[in-house]
Structure 1
């Protein structure tokens, strides 16, 4: 399991709930206005030949903008190595119609969808067959 949270915010309770212990996880903060996420490149295995090589993953982000940017980046990277790569990643947030969200969950269960990028609020109550959980805490402004 991977996660990134700001220990100075209310995320500490979430860290504890997920089993993160102080000093046993990496706190990585990324800018929101980015178009790439190289620190998540591990989601796409080296020598990828089939969609089944991608571990089912839930990525939790704070905003729709981040979710959409991350989905776009992952789809681009996957399309470079797999013909149907863009079909393996889907967003999951309130702007997506309920019917499409249910379809995404069904396709995740079936193994058609491998990565779901969800809003923080969507993580509550999701019953998903996943192996990786990534929590991104992205900065709203640049660091000094």
Structure 2
């Protein structure tokens, strides 16, 4: 009996993808596929209207418009934005990987340059220190430079 009522009310056999909850001061747009991850869009109408920012109001109206949520053809706007976000995230992580490698190479080259020009010990293993040698162990230098770059990334992240 419940299936018959669902078919009559919604005209479909599966539950709706989008659920729109509206209250006096908020609108929530819930995607059935993202509900398990506790992901939804919540619009604070009181704040949006109090700011009197036409861009925020336009974005809200665009994201909640029927043609954007359930278009007759093509993908929903939120699906397109989500797909572009994933693509951008992958691109940023690839760029960060390249930049991290370049930063470590630059730092290692500066350590070696400083050691050759100034003639001071910059980095040596315990065994080399005991023997009085001034060789740089490339693996240990790489690890130390990697630690410095990660520390800098952490600081930059915290500042942002």
Q: TM-score, normalised by structure 2?
A: 0.20
Larger Rg: 2
Query: Which protein is richer in strand relative to its size?
Result: 1
Q: TM-score, normalised by structure 1?
A: 0.21
Highest RCO, 1 vs 2 (Cα 8 Å, sep ≥ 6):
1
